[in-house]
Structures are given as C-alpha cells and as structure tokens.
Structure 1
Amino acid sequence: MRDGIESQPPAASTDAVFLDGLVQAADTYVGTLLKATDGDVAALPHRAAMSRLLALATVYAEPGSAHRGSPAFPDAMEACVARLEHLQGPTGLFDGTNLSSPPDSAFTINDACMALEIIGAGHAALAGVRRRLRAVVGRITDALVTGGVHTPNHRWELCAALARIHALHEREGSARPDIVARIGEWLAEGIDQLPDGMYSERSPLYATAVTNPSLLAIADYAGRPGLLEHVRGNLAAFLPWFNADGSIESLFSRRQDQWKTFDAEAFQLLYRRLANQDGRSDFASAAAWLQQFPLLEPAKALARTRLDPWLGLELPAASVIDLSGDSASTVFDGGLPPVMAPGHAALGSCGIHRFRRAGNVVTVFGGCDPLEPGVVSGLATNPTFLRLAHGDAVLTDMRLSRSFFDLGPFRSQSVSTDAGAVRLAEELRANFYLPLPPERHRKDGIYALVHEGRFSASMDFGSRPTVEHRLATALTIRPGAGAEGDAAELELEFDGADTSFALELTFRPGGELAGVEPLASQLPGSNTGQGAFQLTSGTGTYRVGNDVIEFGPGLAADPDNPPVYNPGEAYRYLAGTNAADGVKVYITGRTQGTHRFTLRGRSVV
C-alpha cells in the first residue's frame, strides 16, 4: 500500500512551465511515433508494444494534450494489447533475448500497471483496453512471484512490478499476501549499494533506467520508505560526474555504458522527485540544470509525473540558476551549478577521481576489475585511464599499450593518492613452461585442459616449472600543475621487460591538430577512422574554436616501436577490438625508466 508520508506532498504550487513543456514534448513524441510507423505494432517486441501503449494512454488521458480523447487512439491501444496477448507464453511471461524471462517481462508489466492506473475507470472508450490489459497482468502475476533473475538490478525491477500489482489488487479489494512475502524475500538480501553510493553495477544507465526508479516504486507502492535512502545516496554520489555537454561520466561502469557517452537527461526526474520531497537545494540545482536537455522518453516522463505528485511541484527557489552564462557567481564549468562542479571528487569503490582547475576537467580512472575470468559482461574493463576537457576541446581517451605477450592495454590494479596526485599501477607476469616432472607424466600424453591466464591448452600448466617474465607499469597524474594550474603532468614508469609501448591519445572529432605527423597507413587494431597521427618531437596541439589542448613531448619514431593500439588476445582471437573512436595521436617508446608528459588546456583569442 502507498505510504502517505512518502507519496503525498503538502499543498504547494505546481510548476506550470515544467508541466506545459513536458506535455508538448510528449505530444510531439507520440505524433512522431505514429507517423514513423503508421501505428503498426505487428512486429514490435513486448517492451516496445507496451511502451507505445503507455505513451498513447498518457496523452489520451492528459487534459492539456493535443491528443486528449483522440478517437483514433482506442483502436491503436487495442492493437498494442493484442500484440502483448500474442506474445505471452503459457505462463504469462514474454520471450526476448532471455527466453521466458521474469525480469525482462517485469519491465513490460511495470509500464502496464502505470497505464492501468492512468486509464482508471474514467475513460469509457478505453474500457476494453483496460479489461484486456488487466488480464495480461493477471496471467503473468504467478510467474513473477515465483520467477528468478540474473543481474543485480533485475531484483528491484521485479519487486517494483510486484509492488504495483499488489497495489492494483488492493484497489480492487483483493489480497495477495504471497506478493508481499516475495518482495520481502528479495529485499532481505539487502540493496547492493557500495560505500560511496554507487550500486554494485556502478552504471548510470542502470541506476536511472532500473534501480532508482524501481526503489522509488517499491517505496511508494509497497510502503517501504526506507528504500529512498539508497536513492538519495546514489544521486548524491553522481552529482560531481556530470559534464557541461549534457552527458555524465560512465567510464567506471561495469555494464555496457562504460563504452558509451551517456545522456544525463535520464537523471532529471529522479533529482526532481527528491528535491521536492526533501527540500534539498543540491538536488534541486541538478534538476533545474538538467531541465535544459530534452527527455528521450517524454511521454513516459509525463506518465510518471501524473502518477507521482511530487514531480509536478515547483522546485525550491534556491535552485534557480542562470543558464545564459552571465551569472558567474552561481555557475561554473559550462553552466554547471557549483554543487555539481567541485574542485575534486572521487568514488573510492570505483577507483576514479575528477579535478576541475583553470577551466580543465581532468578525470583519472584506475578502477578496472580483475580479469581472472577474462573480458566478460559485468566487469569494468575500459582501459581509458585519463580524460581531459577544456571547453569544446576534449581528449576522450588516453590509453597505454605495451607489447607484452598480447596481454592487452594497461588496466590499473591499484589506485592511490598523495598530495593531489593520483598513482595507478599494474604488474603483468607471463610464463614459459618447462618440461613436466617425471612423476607427472601420463602414458597417453593427454593432460588436463587448463587456462593459464592467456590461453588454454592440454598442458597441465600448474604442474610445470616456469620461466617468468614481468612488466610493472606505474602512472602518476598530477592535475593542476604548472604556474597557471592549467596542466596535468603524467609520469610513466616501467620496471621489468624491455619492450615497446604506445601511448594513445584519442580526441573528439571536430578540431584541428598541429605539430604531429600523419601515419602512412592505418595499423591493425587502431580503429583510426577519424585519422591517425604520431607525435615524434616537441609539443602537439588540438584546437576546437578558441579551446586548445597541448600535449607532449613527442618521442622519436622507431620501426621497433609501432604506433598501434593492441586490445589484447582476448579480443584479437575473436577478430574484435575495444578501440575508441576519434582522432588518434600516438607517442611511442621503450619500457625502460621514466617518461614524463604534459597535457595543458587553455583558451586563445
């Protein structure tokens, strides 16, 4: 049952500007949706069909919508329900990539329960839609109560669906104590929140699309207000990681968004809800700043706003910020309010630091997970260890390759700080294997199939003496260096094997390079579709408008030190790569001693 304290706000002014803009955006979204496909749902998967139904129901029932009561919409919604009925299996579950998946089906059922709540009993023309959609929910309920999951966030999506179904039963005057008990079983495991506020998947995508919305729904519909503390902690942890371009850092994620630029708009309603409920000025500042970025699913956002009375209220007055750039006292770093742009921020469990100084944003990452099981889904494995932005000039990825038994790029195994510097370190070891001791010999010559860290073979590796090779790498980054504090100094130290290295700098396309030499041809594994260059001496520059990033010094070219990025055998064996896209510059050398480089962001007239 909804908890009155958490779900019912006090009397307060509604935010007419926010609501009017949201209705207009939802109307445009639905109009484009129908025009693009002519309303055909015959080939849609279950989540897309239900998402469409929710969008149609939301604007149909919205008093201010241009689609309010549209006579064509009931039939369009009936078509969506028919598609869902067709896709339901014998247990009521839906098939997709994961066959008969309770959590994947829960995404659809959460939307279905929202649509049922919006439609209610006040729209006679939608009585058939409501009856059939209610039956879809009824057929799947038992499977959701008894079903299982396979990722951390699935537990909370499943519980959110069960909480909404339970509230639906309560409104109908029926009882399902087994639903409440099942929610309790999942929640008894504890919420997977790390000490710094991130959830165990460390993913902005899943925090905004699944975990936080689900915990809010469970709090509201199952009377569990204590869960909101987890949402508050997660949103507070994300505050320093927004970028002026409307994205948010995802480098530390353990999910697929570690390889992508993630749009920060997904956080807007989350900050808005708790800013209004808690009266928090920091969350309100974030919500107000995020409001400038279009919502990707405005119809669903409108549905949430109509079902959650906190979302439609005016934000606390202290949160109002000037996005014109004329109010230097209240904004910083491309319009970010001060609470979102501290001089230094860190996430200890994620191994990431961010520094903002002299107009530069320097991000240092050393929180990759150990790769004992290999490069697999669910681990943070992005080898980018540094990012630097100065206005529109952006170094998106700095990586380090070494030619060492094809073990892949540098991925830090430890992160430490000292006097404002961040130190990353990794030690690699690789073996040559000597003959087996006589007592381990087999007459048939067939030995245990073992994975030794690089590859697998029937060699009984663990029983053999070895000749070990070692390469230790340490990177020390000092942000805010130089007389003006506008430089980041990089110290690269090696110990062990004498081999080649390639430092790869990848810039966001759109600027001009100077001081570098173009590579004669694209090298294997470089992913150099935007152009590849090498810095062989002095300092190079990358300029976008009036914003410049300087980098160097370069090192002399040598055919024994190829300018190439090597993703490692785990990728190359499958003809794959994890190379970053963009404009590439390489600095190459040998893994002997210490090398020092400087990155500097500045503005020119």
Structure 2
Amino acid sequence: MNHHLVMEDAPAFISGLVDAADRSIDTLVDAPDGGAAALAHRPAMGRLLAMATVYTQPDSRHYLSAGLPGLMMGCVARLEYLQGPTGLFDGTNLSSPPDSAFTINDACMALEIMDAPAGLSAGGGLAEIATRLRAVVGRITDALLTGGVHTPNHRWELCAALARIHSLHQSEGVPRPELLQRIDQWLAEGIDQLPDGMYSERSPLYATAVTNPSLVAIADYANRPDLLEHVRANLAAFLPWFSSDGVTESLFSRRQDQWFRFNGEAFQLLYRRLASQDGNGDFAAAAAWLRQFPLLEPAKALARTRLDPWLHLQLPERESALGGGELPAAMTPGHAVLSSCGIHRFREARSVATIFGGCDDVASGVGSGLASNPTFLRFAHGDAVLTDVRLSRSFFDLGPFRSQGVSLSDTGVRLTEDVSANFYLPLPVDKHREDGLYALGHEGRFSAGMDFGNRPAVEHRLGTSITVIPQMAEGTVELELGFEGAHTSFAIELTFRPGGLLSGVEEETRGQPGAYQLTTGTGEYRVGEDVIEFGPGIAADADNPPAYNPGEAYRYLAGTNATDGVKVYITGRTSGSVRLAIRGRSVS
C-alpha cells in the first residue's frame, strides 16, 4: 500500500457539516410543533439543539428561518411537560439522574450556542426559548448534584452535565463550587480504563456516545485536562479495529453493540479533536478517512464543532493511503491485540482475520453488562465477508462454545472452554426432611427444590479447544478443533454477509431450513471478484444435526442470539480433532 502526506481543506469540512445538518433539519420544518408532541425528553432536546444550531449558523439554509423559533418552542414545552417534581425526567429508568444528564448536556450546549455572539445576533427569536430552557436546567441541577447512577459510563455523563452547568453559572457570575466538588468525588473513584486503553464496558458505542465525549467536556468545562490522557489511550487502542466499510469491531463489547455492526463515524470528531490539539498524525489520518461515512447526527456534530475551537482547525499533516477509500497505515497493522478483551486481528493485503476469545463467565445467565457473543472468528477478503464462525454442541443445552481462555503462540491463537453438567445421586440420610420439601436452589443449569449442594453428583465434562492459525501472506486461516470428554455432536456455523453466491454446498432442510451444509470438498462464497473458500466438509449424519443451538438460557423463553446472513454448517462428532481452512482470493 502506497502512502503520501496530505493536507486538509478545513472550510470544506465545515461546509460539509452545515450541508448535512441542513438536510437533517429539512424533514422537521413541515411537522407540527417540529414533531415534538410525542417525543421523549432526549430526542426532544436533541431536536431543539439541532434547530438552534442551524438557526444561528450564518451559512445554513435555515439561518434565521421564520418557522424554526416556533418549532423550538414546541420542544421546550415538551421538556417542561415531561420534567418531574424533582426536575428529573422519566424514561425506561424512572426519575433517572444519568438519563436526564444526557438531555441536560444537550441543553447546556444549546444555551451556549444561543448565548454566543451568533445566537445573540439572531435577535429576539431565541430569547424566550433560552429563558425557558435555562429554567429547565435550573430545576434539575440539585437532583443531578445529589443523584446516583447504575453503569460505569453514567458517572462521566453525569459529571459532564455538572461541569457544563458549572460553566453556565460561572458565566452568570453566580458560581456553585459544590458542582465541582461532586465531580471530584466521582472522579476520585478512578476512570475505569483497562491497561490496553479500553474502558471496562469494552464498548465502541459507549466510548463514542458517552465516556470519551464526557471526559472531553469535563476536561474543558471543569479544567481537568489530565482526563484527556484517557481519551488519547482509548482512541489509540481503537485505531486497528476499523473495517474498510467504516464498521468498528464491537464483538468484544460488554454492552448491546456486541450484537450489531457499529458505525465508526461516531469516532470522527473525537479523532479530530485530539489530532488538532496534539498534532497527532495517526489520529488525523483516522479523522480524515472517517469523513467519507455520513454522520448520524450532523447537526449535533456541527454544534460540537461550533463550541470546540479545536474541531474547526485544519487537521495536521498525516499519512494517507493512495486510492481514496483504503484504510491508512495507522489503522492497518499486521497484528493488533487487545489483551484485556481477548481479541486479536491479523491483516495482510485484502484479507482480515479477527479472533475473539474474551467472553465473560455466563454461568449465572446471559445478561446486560457481560460479553457473551459466541462468535470466535470473523474473516473478510475484500467484499466477501464471513461475519461469524460459531461452534454449537449438543451438551446438556449449555449453549455454544464461548472461550474462557486465550493464548498466543508462534503458530496461532488458542481458545479454550470447559463445561460440565451433573446427574445427582440420593441425599445422605442425615440430610433427609420428613416433609420431602427441600429449599429451591439453582445448580448452574436449572432450579429445583432438590438441595443440590448436599447431594453427591456424577459429573459429565466437555473440554473444547480451537486453535486459529493465521497464514495471512496466503490469505488463509486454519482452524484446529480438539475435544476431550463427552462424545456428542457438533455443528460449525459459518455466517456470510448477504449479497454473494454460494457454491459447493447442499441446501439444508432438516436442521435449519434456508441454510446450507458442506458435506464434502470445499465450498465457496463469492462477492464480485472476491472469494472465500472454506472446507473440507464432513459427511452428513442424521445424528449430527446442522443447526445452531443458542442454549437453554435463550430457548426457554423462545429467545435466540442467532446471527443474520447466509448460513453454512459443517457437522461432526466430538472425538479426536477436526481441521478446517478458510482462504480468501480474488478471481482477477
């Protein structure tokens, strides 16, 4: 890949933001009350911030638009209606300080824009809106000052709101030092950053939507520039985890984004801020490359740019890939690892392999705050993408393989898991009850009134190891599966991103209709000129169903964690070892 140094046209960045913000507002101007009548507090405030931003932007098509003040007034009225007696807002979480803090951060940004020279020059159209919005902030301040949270990132969102409120009070000449004291109390707990730069939730969604922008706001509005070191470390850690389509890897997340494709556009302004402030060429390259992907909230991005002088500066020189859409060198190391997340990525030319073995212990049940996605491998060659490789086994309905250990050797990455299940023997005589009623207990798989803890048990065990051997110079990864213990069936599930053509496989109608099975030789999945080959297949056997089992934790309530896409199964028995190769090539 060839690279050269480039410079950016900063005015083009701003004009692009303004144009995207205008288009996002175009859909609102014809809606009664800006469509705010049925909105929850966060989208109502987000809409108000967006309209205030373009209304005061001189080069916007909506600058001083006669219809916008009335629409903004509708949003303020909605906030006033939704505000409870303590000033807090209700949502999924009732009277929630952190959920309310999201709204108040946007409210403070809107007030800062209205109070800036561009806002003041807009005339009387904003005066009443600003007065009423300031009252909304005033009614909630004490509740945010004394309120609590329930996730790690909530602490920093709450502190960001307190920092912005403090800045508003400072500008009005009525400081409230207790706001800074409360921020210091939260910060004294320490920022939940893992050694490799990830935050404890390991989530790109929450890193971009909450933690990083909150730490930047606290740094700016509460004079805590030391907090930017955490943002720098997190942004550096994420650099290798972008795909050429703009998606950021989220497989290792402990939050909901582990289950969907996360759009990396959310990182653009964060990289831009630190690139400009630090003269960081790697961050500048990332920010410039991400500009090709549309911002999901362009008006809010414009507001942030208006309020942060670092964001509207020209990016420093950086190395950029020739050929337009290619990822720059800073984002494409041959090998990247996040040890705290149990994930590795290998790249060479058009092939990328991502190996994940960092699932949390889900013995207590799958739930929010745990990394439990059983996908252990992703592989892409150009436009052909194998989004998920999973291993399902028939073993007491305990669910798919989830690695409990990750180790790197000279040959590859080894993932391991041991699972067990018991059959229970009669209770010792001294533990008998005359009424035959024993305490309800949970034994790891299910609950029953059986006094499991006092019963002898016969244990059944299944140990599984998967060694992934990347041979990226050949565009290949090899998988070696090994089993110990129970002799049972397994199914390897390959899920491909839709849009390609399969060959070499058989349509499956028994285990999962609409899926396919590879029973011999090698299969291929082709998208344009890009091909992923996989195999060898294993002969079909009625005792080895080609299907994915999410486990009883899901199926008991008719749930699933199944993937979406084109599915191919390779089935077999848990005896000995099984080898599988996945190779990318281009037809041309």
The normalised TM-score by structure 1 is 0.94
What letter is aligned with 1:151? T
What is the rounded CA distance, in whole Å, between the counterparts of 2:243 and 2:554 in structure 1? Answer: 30
Q: Could you tell me how far 1:28 is from its partner in structure 2?
A: 0.7
Q: Could you tell me how far 1:74 is from its partner in structure 2?
A: 1.1
SS in 2 for 1:34: coil
What is the rounded CA distance, in whole Å, between the counterparts of 2:31 and 2:415 in structure 1? Answer: 49
Tell me which residue corresponds to 1:567: 550
What letter is aligned with 2:490? F
Matched, 1:19 2:14: yes
Tell me which residue corresponds to 1:220: 220
What is the rounded CA distance, in whole Å, between the counterparts of 1:198 and 1:351 in structure 2? Answer: 12
What letter is aligned with 1:469? H
The runs of 5 or more residues in structure 2 that have no matched partner are 1-6
Runs of at least 4 residues off by over 6 Å: none
What is the rounded CA distance, in whole Å, between the counterparts of 2:178 and 2:430 in structure 1? Answer: 60
What letter is aligned with 2:452? F
Query: Aligned pairs, how many?
Result: 577
What is the rounded CA distance, in whole Å, between the counterparts of 1:72 and 1:47 in structure 2? Answer: 22
Q: Could you tell me how far 1:319 is from its partner in structure 2?
A: 4.4
What is the rounded CA distance, in whole Å, between the counterparts of 1:295 and 1:175 in structure 2? Answer: 36
Which of 100, 114, 117 is the matching residue for 1:119? 114
What letter is aligned with 1:103? P
What letter is aligned with 2:34? G
What letter is aligned with 2:545? P
Which of 68, 71, 78 is the matching residue for 1:73? 68
Which of 388, 393, 397 is the matching residue for 2:379? 388
What is the rounded CA distance, in whole Å, between the counterparts of 2:9 and 2:76 in structure 1? Answer: 33
Question: For 1:57-206, what aligned pairs fall within 5 Å after superposition?
Answer: 57-120=52-115, 121-122=120-121, 123-206=123-206
SS in 1 for 2:27: helix
Tell me which residue corresponds to 2:484: 495
Matched, 1:419 2:410: yes
Tell me which residue corresponds to 1:584: 567
What letter is aligned with 2:427? L
What is the rounded CA distance, in whole Å, between the counterparts of 2:342 and 2:8 in structure 1? Answer: 42
Query: Bigger shift: 566-575 or 35-44?
Result: 35-44
Tell me which residue corresponds to 2:524: 541
What letter is aligned with 2:88? L
What is the rounded CA distance, in whole Å, between the counterparts of 1:405 and 1:37 in structure 2? Answer: 56
What is the rounded CA distance, in whole Å, between the counterparts of 1:458 and 1:409 in structure 2? Answer: 28
- Name the CA shift for 1:583/1:38 in 2 (closer, same or farther; >3 Å): farther
The normalised TM-score by structure 2 is 0.96
- Name the CA shift for 1:37/1:409 in 2 (closer, same or farther; >3 Å): farther
What letter is aligned with 1:497? A
Aligned residues of 2:545 and 2:571 also touching (Cα < 8 A): yes
Q: Could you tell me how far 1:492 is from its partner in structure 2?
A: 0.4
Which of 462, 465, 470 is the matching residue for 1:479? 470
Tell me which residue corresponds to 1:433: 424
What letter is aligned with 1:55? A
Tell me which residue corresponds to 1:464: 455
Matched, 1:39 2:28: no
Q: Could you tell me how far 1:304 is from its partner in structure 2?
A: 0.1
SS in 2 for 1:575: coil
SS in 1 for 2:417: strand
Question: For 1:191-270, what aligned pairs fall within 5 Å after superposition?
Answer: 191-270=191-270
What is the rounded CA distance, in whole Å, between the counterparts of 2:576 and 2:191 in structure 1? Answer: 46
Tell me which residue corresponds to 1:55: 50
Aligned residues of 1:551 and 1:598 also touching (Cα < 8 A): yes
Tell me which residue corresponds to 2:576: 593
SS in 1 for 2:386: strand
Please list the CA deviations of residues 68-120 of structure 1 after superposition, one character each: whole Å capped at 9, or x if unmatched. 11111111111110000000000000000000000000000000000000001
What is the rounded CA distance, in whole Å, between the counterparts of 1:186 and 1:294 in structure 2? Answer: 35
Q: Could you tell me how far 1:198 is from its partner in structure 2?
A: 0.3
What letter is aligned with 1:262? F
Q: Could you tell me how far 1:372 is from its partner in structure 2?
A: 2.9
What letter is aligned with 2:86? T
- CA RMSD in angstroms comes to 1.4
- Name the CA shift for 1:435/1:145 in 2 (closer, same or farther; >3 Å): same
What is the rounded CA distance, in whole Å, between the counterparts of 1:14 and 1:277 in structure 2? Answer: 17
What is the rounded CA distance, in whole Å, between the counterparts of 2:552 and 2:479 in structure 1? Answer: 27
What is the rounded CA distance, in whole Å, between the counterparts of 2:417 and 2:51 in structure 1? Answer: 53
What is the rounded CA distance, in whole Å, between the counterparts of 1:453 and 1:37 in structure 2? Answer: 54
Aligned residues of 1:288 and 1:319 also touching (Cα < 8 A): no
What is the rounded CA distance, in whole Å, between the counterparts of 2:481 and 2:142 in structure 1? Answer: 58
SS in 1 for 2:401: coil
Please list the CA deviations of residues 155-196 of structure 1 after superposition, one character each: whole Å capped at 9, or x if unmatched. 000000000000000000002111111111100000000001
What is the rounded CA distance, in whole Å, between the counterparts of 1:93 and 1:356 in structure 2? Answer: 48
Q: Could you tell me how far 1:38 is from its partner in structure 2?
A: 6.9
Q: Could you tell me how far 1:445 is from its partner in structure 2?
A: 1.3
What is the rounded CA distance, in whole Å, between the counterparts of 2:8 and 2:571 in structure 1? Answer: 61
Please list the CA deviations of residues 453-481 of structure 1 after superposition, one character each: whole Å capped at 9, or x if unmatched. 10111111011000110100000000116
What letter is aligned with 2:64? G
What letter is aligned with 1:396? T
